[in-house]
């Protein structure tokens, strides 16, 4: 079974509790994580400092001088008991323009070779369908989702790429990243590039795409890519498609 009948509360050091809701990549498990996080934010428990959601668990940091681990666990178990009544912010759908292959996706041909597919088949498998965002982890809040077969069979690269730019669209290990928020190294396959931005440090919240949102890729050419990139830089591009 993907989800646990009851969440597991694991002590992490002297000021943390990890609340685990399951052991697999599953949308309902992920929603339980964010329902707990949302409940703690909406009605804060005294002594709770910060929450850190993952795909299947929620790490809760607390001040042990203000609340004990037993008391905090009991309070969160009370929240768990009324999980069905807890709502989440409305999911938004974002269309992501992308140029596949060439200078925009240096690993594209390697992926096609590894999977014994041609370029058109790779694009057809990756684009045109909605992906549920499980988390926004790693540097700059990279938004992660589950990729479909046969893309989910790709392991991490044996030799990392040391220079993937912001906007790089990556896949590996059964997961995909909407697009890279910041430039830097990666062990995932770089198959395309989007002109959109995910990381806005001057804003609160600083991310464009959040957990629970959905994304859909739309292939574009180089000219449209550059046009959208200019609009993004000017702050006039509207990425969201619909609630």
Share of the chain above pLDDT 70, in %: 98
Question: What's the CATH code of the domain at 14?
Answer: 3.30.1360.40
> Cα separation of 154 and 207, whole Å?
27
Q: What is the mean pLDDT of residues 175-190?
A: 96
Question: What's the CATH code of the domain at 112?
Answer: 2.40.100.10
> Cα separation of 10 and 58, whole Å?
10
Instruction: Identify the band that residue 242 occupies on the pLDDT scale cut at 50, 70 and 90.
Output: low
**99-117 tens-digit pLDDT:** 999 999 999 999 999 999 9
Number of other CB atoms surrounding residue 78 within 10 Å: 11
Domain around 140: 94-242
pTM exceeds 0.85 for this model = yes
Chosen domain end from 85, 106, 135: 85
Residue 53: is its pLDDT beyond 60?
yes
Task: Count structural domains, the chain.
Answer: 2
Q: What is the mean pLDDT of residues 83-112?
A: 95
Q: Strand 175-177 and strand 93-100: pairing?
A: unpaired
Is 5 within 8 Å of 23 (Cβ atoms)? no
- Phi, psi (rounded to 5 degrees) for 229: -60, -40
Q: How many CA atoms lie within 13 A of 78 on its CB side?
A: 10
Residue 233: is its pLDDT beyond 70?
yes
Q: What is the largest CA-CA distance in the chain?
A: 60
Q: What is the mean pLDDT of residues 164-175?
A: 96
Q: Are residues 14 and 45 in the same domain?
A: yes
């Amino acid at each position: 079974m993907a989800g646990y009948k009851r969440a597991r509360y694991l002590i992490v050091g002297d000021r943390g509790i990890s609340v685990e809701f399951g052991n697999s990549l599953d949308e309902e498990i992920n929603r339980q994580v964010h329902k707990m996080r949302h409940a703690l934010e909406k009605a804060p428990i005294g002594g709770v400092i910060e929450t850190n959601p993952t795909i299947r668990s929620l790490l809760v940091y607390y001040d042990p001088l203000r609340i004990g681990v037993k008391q905090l666990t009991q309070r969160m178990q009370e929240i768990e008991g009324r999980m069905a009544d807890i709502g989440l912010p409305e999911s938004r759908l974002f269309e992501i323009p992308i140029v596949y292959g060439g200078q925009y996706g240096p690993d594209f041909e390697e992926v096609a070779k590894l999977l014994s597919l041609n370029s058109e088949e790779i694009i057809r498998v990756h684009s045109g369908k909605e992906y549920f965002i499980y988390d926004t982890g790693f540097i700059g809040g990279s938004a992660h989702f589950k990729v479909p077969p046969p893309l989910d069979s790709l392991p991490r690269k044996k030799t990392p790429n040391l220079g993937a730019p912001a906007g790089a669209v990556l896949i590996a290990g059964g997961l995909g990243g909407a697009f890279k928020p910041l430039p830097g190294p990666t062990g995932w396959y770089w198959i395309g590039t989007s002109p959109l931005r995910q990381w806005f440090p001057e804003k609160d919240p600083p991310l464009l795409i959040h957990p629970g949102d959905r994304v859909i890729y739309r292939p574009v050419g180089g000219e449209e890519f550059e046009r959208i990139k200019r609009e993004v830089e000017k702050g006039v591009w509207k990425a969201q498609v619909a609630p």
